[in-house]
Amino acid sequence: MTLEELNNQILKCEKCALCKTRVNVVPGEGSSKSNIMFIGEGPGKKEDELGRPFVGSAGKLLDKLLGLIGLERKDVYIANVVKCRPPQNRDPLPEEVDFCREWLDKQIKIIKPELMVLLGRHSMDRFLPNHKISIDHGKPKRLNGQVYYPIYHPAAALYRNGLLEDLQNDFKKIPKILEIIKEERINNKKGKEGKAEQIKLGI
Ligand code: SF4
């Protein structure tokens, strides 16, 4: 199945109650061939209106952050843990994340990103449970062969003083992480199964 075929299925999904309040489903967008996926929490008001991820003020910041490392949206794939907007932008409920799990898993299986950048704590909880974003942001981890990189959500950096600098600094580490992943691929390093291991950046 192609990513486009999958996303067409997602557009028709009515598996959880969020289908009743959404305007549009927001499957994700970007390059299906990218080696980086950015995973946010869920669509906000603007995203719900337009059916596209990260198009509001947090999205504008994400675009600027991508620019810091010489990337544009078309170079990466951007998706969310839940594909429909939780009313009033509340946190997604655990059951909504569970219902939507299959869709994100299938997208990841098709894209096969080398690096998954987890934007904020809901995204981090989905892949790296029992971690804390305030402690673990900016620290890439390998789990079952996949490299995850938790960082603050751009929306949090817009509303909380001091987080923007952390977010910019964490973003600037992405090229180095990709370099390490490439070296490790050459050396066929996979890490321990079932245990999140921190990747040392040496910077
Ligand atoms: S949030 Fe996910 S599971 Fe729920 S209706 Fe939307 S696409 Fe389906």
- Tens of pLDDT, residue by residue over 58-81, are 999 999 999 999 999 999 999 999
Q: Assign 200 a pLDDT band (cuts: 50, 70, 90).
A: confident
Instruction: Please state, for a pLDDT cut of 70, what percent of the chain lies above it.
Output: 97
Question: 195 Cβ partners below 8 Å, 6+ apart?
Answer: 143
Mean of pLDDT values over 5-13 = 98
Mean of pLDDT values over 34-44 = 97
Interstrand relation of 77-80 and 36-40 (parallel, antiparallel or unpaired): parallel
Q: In the prediction, which pLDDT does 139 show?
A: 97
CA atoms within a 13 Å half-sphere pointing along the CA-CB vector of 130? 2
Both tokens assigned to 144: 């079952």
3-state secondary structure of 40: strand
Is 13 close to ligand 1, i.e. is its CB under 6 Å away? yes
In total, the chain counts a number of residues equal to: 203
Query: Rounded to an integer, what distance in angstroms lies between the CA atom of residue 72 and that of residue 91?
Result: 28
Question: 26 Cβ partners below 8 Å, 6+ apart?
Answer: 43, 47, 48, 51, 52, 53, 80, 83, 84, 85
* Average predicted confidence (pLDDT) for the chain: 94
Interstrand relation of 146-151 and 115-119 (parallel, antiparallel or unpaired): parallel
Both tokens assigned to 187: 């050396």
- pLDDT surpassing 70 at residue 33: yes
Is 14 close to ligand 1, i.e. is its CB under 6 Å away? yes
Indicate the pTM of the whole model. 0.95
Distance 7 CA to ligand 1 centre (A): 12
pLDDT in tens, 92-140: 999 999 999 999 999 999 999 999 999 999 999 999 999 999 999 999 9
Distance 105 CA to ligand 1 centre (A): 13
Instruction: Give the ligand 1 atom nearest the CA of 13.
Output: 8
Question: 135 Cβ partners below 8 Å, 6+ apart?
Answer: none
The torsion defined by the Cα of 38, 185, 168 and 40, in degrees rounded to 10, comes to 10
Is 16 close to ligand 1, i.e. is its CB under 6 Å away? yes
We find that the CATH architecture of domain 3-189 is 3-Layer(aba) Sandwich (3.40)
Is 81 close to ligand 1, i.e. is its CB under 6 Å away? no
Q: In the prediction, which pLDDT does 202 show?
A: 74
Radius of gyration over every alpha carbon of the chain, rounded to an integer in angstroms = 16
Contact 100, 82 (CB under 8 A): yes
| CB burial of residue 92 (10 Å; 0-12, 13-18, 19+) | buried
Instruction: Give the ligand 1 atom nearest the CA of 99.
Output: 3
Q: Assign 161 a pLDDT band (cuts: 50, 70, 90).
A: confident
Contact 117, 39 (CB under 8 A): yes
